[in-house]
Copies of this chain bind each other. A is one copy, B any other.
């Protein structure tokens, strides 16, 4: 096994996660240094021995390179001596680590304070599944997770408890904001982008009058089709991080 900084798999995850941060900027999901993307590094053995790379804390999106990302183990400890290890990882690192430790199928995690998703989170209200784009992407409503203070495992536990067994790859942490997961970092970023889009659209729809959720059988049919038919065979959504 090569040293971590020479490992082409780690290098590839670093490159992809660094460039995915630009999508948060492009879609207006973040301001200043807020928000973060992480990506799992699969080591090929016990998923508990996997690693992940994550954005350093308080660093500008304009300056972010692959080697600035911080490599951590699934307890959230920085892997000493590797690229970026002189920086503090995102203050949300414990939450990301908890998700990777407890959801081995997850290849990427994203956190933002995107406006409309935070608005629903501030009200502690799940987003009803009222448009076909939501049924396609999330298979139903977007659930609300508990209010949790940063600093221990409580955010990570809230994410896992809410998303485990749920179709949705997005959770609205009450009074805080959204976390999304995916089979890859790209898939988690797509979920963050689509979440803000549906959060905005459904709220704006409701500001103009009554909106009723789609029938459950229509939601089921749309979700099933989208997960199995949409996109190209090489679609990144299908591939692990």
CA distance A59 to B231 in the complex (A): 7
Q: When the two chains form the complex, which single residue of B56, B59, B113, B125 contacts A208, counting CB atoms closer than 8 Å?
A: B125
- List A107-144 residues whose CB lies under 8 Å from chain B: 113, 115-116, 118-123, 125, 130-133
Interchain CB contact under 8 A, A203 and B197: no
Interchain CB contact under 8 A, A133 and B150: no
Q: When the two chains form the complex, which single residue of B56, B175, B197 contacts A131, counting CB atoms closer than 8 Å?
A: B175
* A197 shortest CB reach to chain B, Å: 5
Interchain CB contact under 8 A, B150 and A222: yes
- Give A237's nearest chain B residue, CB to CB: B58
Known: A131-B122, A131-B177, A193-B32. A208 touches B203 (CB 8 A): yes
CA distance A150 to B224 in the complex (A): 11
CA distance A130 to B125 in the complex (A): 14
Known: A133-B177, A232-B58. A149 touches B218 (CB 8 A): yes
- Give A87's nearest chain B residue, CB to CB: B232
Interchain CB contact under 8 A, B200 and A115: yes
B-chain residues with CB within 8 Å of residue A118 when the two chains form the complex? 131, 133, 201, 205
CA distance A118 to B199 in the complex (A): 12
C-beta contact mask, A19-35 vs B, less than 8 Å → 1, else 0?
A: 00000000100011110
B-chain residues with CB within 8 Å of residue A207 when the two chains form the complex? 119, 203, 207-208
* A39 shortest CB reach to chain B, Å: 18
* A182 shortest CB reach to chain B, Å: 13
B-chain residues with CB within 8 Å of residue A231 when the two chains form the complex? 33, 57-58, 88
* A107 shortest CB reach to chain B, Å: 18
Interchain CB contact under 8 A, B175 and A58: no
Determine whether A194 belongs to the interface, using a CB cutoff of 8 Å to chain B.
yes
Determine whether A64 belongs to the interface, using a CB cutoff of 8 Å to chain B.
no
